[in-house]
Amino acid sequence: MNAKHTQQKQAAGTPTDRTNVTVIGLGAMGSALACALLDAGHPTTVWNRTPQKAKPLADRGALVAATPEEAVAAGELIVACVLDYDALRTVLAPAAEAGTLTGKTLVNLTSGSPEQAGEMAAWAGAHGAEYVDGGIMTTPPGVGSPEMMFLYSGSEAAFTAHRPLLSALGDPLYLGTEPGLASLYDAALLGLMWATFTGWLHGTALVGAEGTAATDFTSVALRWLRGAVSGFLTTYAPQVDAGRYPGDDATVDVQIAAIGHLIHAAAGRGIDNALPELLKSTMERASSAGHGNDSYASVIEVLRRT
């Protein structure tokens, strides 16, 4: 192997799985991935466009490849995490053209669309590689924690074979053989996160206008989310699946009246109301479509139609 072999440090973990793994891309996330693999005791080769970023990993025992081709040749499993799919395709093209990808498994943790995942799976397959696409549901400090979800889709055989190694990164959740599923779930979960963030910040601004600290409000908000709101979701999910929305807890029309109070209170305190106005108009469209006496879950009928 041409990779520059640096001093191998004593690995903290002693995995029974000694698969040689390569990490391509050593930005904030790729470096965290490589660290977690090294911490778990996996023989790890790394490559990055800007070579200096490999230095801290070399100090922890990683092999540093001089080129992407060397990096691909060194690993049975290739974990990629660069800016986007175009960059990854460019980086891997010489190895693919030389046939070096043949027989390897490519686990692509770069963020992209479901369509890009499908194209990358076809591209990898055409070059003889098994393909697994992934979505990382944490930030770099969370990598390595069993609490954090890593979403995977694509080749089930490759995922199953490498599941023990992938567990070093976080809790692996396999979604199915369609390569785009991990990206689809990733997008859906980020949408949920941003809506939640913005609703929380709107509430924080509202109570903050009367002098409540964000930290004080947040402990109450978390109790609301964990207890009541998560229970509402659990109740509403089967209603969505069944396409029937009994309004026996709170109807859409009742919630339209309630959100009016939020908009009034926020307007009076100089708080931007774009989010609650959007929510109110969406509820009103559901009501106009005949769901006024149904549960909030019926709003999905309006979302699907648009």
Give residues in contact with ligand NAP (CB under 6 A).
25-30, 48-50, 53, 81-83, 87, 90-91, 110-111, 136, 139-140
Pick the closer one to ligand NAP by CB: 114 or 203.
114
Work out how close the CB of 33 gets to ligand NAP at its nearest, in angstroms, rounded to a whole number.
Answer: 9
CA neighbours closer than 13 Å in the CB half-sphere of residue 82: 19
Separation between Cα atoms, residue 101 and residue 161, nearest integer Å: 17
What is the chain's length?
A: 306
Cβ at position 141, least distance to ligand NAP in Å: 9
Residue 29 or 64 with smaller CB distance to ligand NAP: 29
Query: Closest approach of Cβ 189 to ligand NAP, in Å?
Result: 11
Write out the H or E segment, with its range, that includes residue 23.
strand 21-24
How far apart are alpha carbons 15 and 17 in whole angstroms? 5
Would you call 141 exposed, middle or buried from its count of C-beta atoms within 10 A (0-12, 13-18, 19+)?
exposed
At its nearest, how many Å lie between ligand NAP and the CB of residue 160?
A: 23
Radius of gyration of the chain (CA): 24
Is the Cβ–Cβ distance between 143 and 33 less than 8 Å? yes
Closer residue to ligand NAP (CB): 41 or 135: 135
Where helices occur in 25-180 by DSSP H, the ranges are: 28-39, 55-59, 68-74, 85-97, 114-126, 156-166
Residue with smaller CB distance to ligand NAP, 183 or 204: 183
The first and second tokens of residue 59, run together, are 């100090």
Min dist CB 3 to ligand NAP, Å, is 18
Q: Which is nearer to ligand NAP, 49 or 202 (CB)?
A: 49
